[in-house]
Amino acid sequence: MSTLGQLPSFTPGARTMLGDEVYGALQQSILDGTFPPDARINAGELARQFEVSPTPVREALARLESDGLVEKLPLRGYRTTDLLDRTRLTELFELRLLLEPGSAASAAERRSATDLEELAHEVEAGRTAVGEADAYRLLSRHDVRLHDLVFRSAQNETVRQAYARTHCHLHTFRLAYTGAYVSDTVDEHAAIVRAITDGDPSAAAESMRTHIERSRDRLMRVVD
């Protein structure tokens, strides 16, 4: 089992934000490989490194356990979980193909003016992130927001929450943090948003399906 890695720089803030900041710092460290798979994580050691009380660390670890990024070991603290294998990754993309093209079609029919404004803004945010020093981190977050906006525009909260519980994006980002996300992804997002903006359900569904299949193929090349 690996040992605890070097934490990113951290400046404690107000108590109401402390738990979120610890959670964000730990999540980033797991996604970028600072904490590799099967790394032992000790809450007391984290509290000392962050210079905080154990409470926000325990809260953050509980959230990370819900994300599927860590697991609790009886009497031994926590460990980071293993990376997805090819079978599990294939299953996640099969689920995406079941849920997301239909949701994109519904979004084209049900989207509001506010939805369209937010979708357009998110595509622009993705474009401005390309080429930045921390592009992968920025684009990963853009990806989460864009797909969630499509689900929100579809106005089916049950489907949105069902997908969110898979934490699919977290696990795929972690699997290929070094660069499976390319600028082509933003172009694919733009095509989805265009179809939704045009109110074209068939084009929205097809654009989403194409995007998911290409994302799957890009990631599988990294895994292989």
- State pLDDT tens for residues 20-57: 899 989 988 998 889 999 999 988 999 998 889 999 99
pLDDT at residue 223, as a whole number: 79
- The answer to whether 104 and 147 have CB atoms below 8 angstroms apart is no
Element (H, E) at 119: helix 113-129
Are 121 and 198 within one domain? yes
Q: Which structure tokens are listed for 136?
A: 């992968």
- Per the structure, the count of domains in the chain is 2
Residue 116, domain CATH: 1.20.120.530
What pTM does this model have?
0.81
Measure the CA–CA gap between 19 and 16, rounded to whole angstroms. 7
Q: Collapsing DSSP states into helix, strand and coil, what is residue 71? A: strand
Report the helix count and the strand count for the chain, using DSSP H and E. Answer: 10, 3
Residue 65, domain CATH: 1.10.10.10
The ranges of the chain with pLDDT < 70 are 1-17, 177-182
Distances (CA, A) of 129 to 19, 55, 183: 27, 35, 9
Q: Which structure tokens are listed for 156?
A: 């089916």
pLDDT at residue 60, as a whole number: 94
- The answer to whether 42 and 4 have CB atoms below 8 angstroms apart is yes
Beta bridge partners of 79: 40, 71
Distance of CA 58 to the CA centre of its chain: 22
Are 56 and 162 within one domain? no
- The range of the structural domain enclosing residue 112 comes to 86-223
Q: Does 4 fall in a domain?
A: no
Are 115 and 98 within one domain? yes
Q: Does 175 fall in a domain?
A: yes
